[in-house]
Structure 1
Amino acid sequence: MNERSSVRELAERLRGELDRYSPGGKLPSSRALVERFRVSPVTVSRALAQLAAEGLVVTRPGAGAFRARPRASAPAAGDTSWQEVALSADAADEVVPRTVDASGVMVSLPAPPPGVLELSGGYPHPCLQPERAMAAALARAGRRPGAW
């Protein structure tokens, strides 16, 4: 390399040579890289740090730099959020329709025994909804200083 070499250029050259080393294999020493590429020790150190940040190299102080072992890629978890399922349920470009397994929810929400009226969900009849009281309360709350 010539005197215009930079950290980026050295990192690119080293990135291209990583295939020569097996995973866990030791790279040449910093001193050898300085002599080979005719760059400063700081440039070598920064280039190795850049490769380490990319996960291509592992550096161990006093031991040297080593080619990183490939990471086992975890399978991407499917999106099971109710918004994604509900909003994309009838999308025309869906190749595979989405399905939701609700068996876990159904186990946690057993049906009430016969004769028991379930009051945990739903809306009251319109004659039982306190619309006037709610409107008055909201109006009072909106007039308070600092409500917004």
Structure 2
Amino acid sequence: MSGLADSLRQELNRYSPGGKLPSSRALVDRYRVSPVTVSRALARLAAEGLVVTRPGAGAFRAPARAGAPARGDTSWQEVALSADAAADLVPRAVDASGVLVTLAAPPPGVIEFNGGYLHSSLQPEQAMAAALARAGRRPGAWGRPPTDGLPELREWFARGIGDPVTAAEVLVTAGGQSALTTALRALAPPGAPVLVESPTYPGMLAIARAAGLRPVPVPVDPDGVRP
């Protein structure tokens, strides 16, 4: 059956979209196979979207497929996860060097403060392990959460922020990079300037450049942004 399907797949180029293929009887005679084999081969091509079968009418070449759906935005992930050996994965307009530096392991005895990850000596590992075990036993803990976050968590954040923010205005993301990407792409069109502290988080620069934005550095001092 696979051999017949391959032959018919190559033969499709002879037909224009909507063109009728030879009848099942003609295919049986030409390829000297059983009607069941012909039926299965046509079913495979139909499953691949190459053929449309119409009971009582025959098999036809399927219409041309519409363009592939737009890919989701993964530019910040490509920047964060790519390395020098895979530079082609990183958009050329994006300088990933700052992000890659933050991913490098620090020298022995050095505690980093630029990435948001606590040194192992500063992590309450026993308390976190106990909390994780308790969370894993909760009903629904392993189910798929809502796209915009758990309602209880959104309400908790809204209460912490205070009026006039409500839970409906809170969006829970998978992490800081995802949050920055969502905010920038929602608020700023490509080519727009974006004010960033100087110095700033390298991941912020990578996200802005990947979104086609123009980072504008703003100097800061211990009291915050300098006027």
Bin the TM-score by the shorter chain. Answer: 0.5 to 0.7
* 1:111-122 matched pairs, under 5 angstroms: none
The reply to whether residue 16 of structure 1 matches residue 13 of structure 2 is no
Give the counterpart letter for 1:48 in structure 2: L
- Aligned to 2:80, which of 78, 87, 92? 87
Query: What's the TM-score, normalizing by structure 1?
Result: 0.55
CA distance in 1, matches of 2:65, 2:93: 30
Q: Unpaired segments of 5 or more residues in structure 1?
A: 1-6, 107-148
Q: How many residues align?
A: 98
CA distance in 1, matches of 2:10, 2:55: 23
CA gap of 1:96–1:20, structure 2 versus 1, over 3 A, is same
Question: Bigger radius of gyration, 1 or 2?
Answer: 1
CA distance in 1, matches of 2:78, 2:4: 47
Corresponding residue number in structure 1 for 2:71: 77
Query: What's the TM-score, normalizing by structure 2?
Result: 0.37
CA distance in 2, matches of 1:62, 1:13: 23
CA distance in 1, matches of 2:26, 2:10: 17
Corresponding residue number in structure 2 for 1:36: 30
CA gap of 1:103–1:12, structure 2 versus 1, over 3 A, is closer
CA distance in 1, matches of 2:79, 2:8: 48
Give the counterpart letter for 2:93 in structure 1: V
Report how far residue 44 of structure 1 moved. 0.3
Give the counterpart letter for 1:31 in structure 2: R
The reply to whether residue 102 of structure 1 matches residue 195 of structure 2 is no
Give the superposed CA RMSD. Answer: 2.9
Structure 1 residue matching 2:52: 3-state secondary structure: strand
CA distance in 2, matches of 1:75, 1:64: 30
CA gap of 1:16–1:80, structure 2 versus 1, over 3 A, is closer
Report how far residue 27 of structure 1 moved. 0.3
- Aligned to 1:26, which of 20, 23, 40? 20
Corresponding residue number in structure 2 for 1:66: 60
Report how far residue 62 of structure 1 moved. 1.2
Report how far residue 105 of structure 1 moved. 4.5
Report how far residue 78 of structure 1 moved. 4.3
Structure 2 residue matching 1:51: 3-state secondary structure: helix
CA distance in 2, matches of 1:36, 1:52: 20
CA gap of 1:81–1:52, structure 2 versus 1, over 3 A, is same
Report how far residue 68 of structure 1 moved. 0.9
Q: What's the CA shift string for 1:55-112, capped at 9, x where partnerless? A: 1111111111000112122353342586x27735x95523221895726358xxxxxx
- Answer 1 or 2: higher relative contact order, Cα 8 Å, separation at least 6: 1
What percentage of residue pairs aligned between the two structures are identical? 64
CA distance in 1, matches of 2:9, 2:3: 10
CA distance in 1, matches of 2:78, 2:29: 59
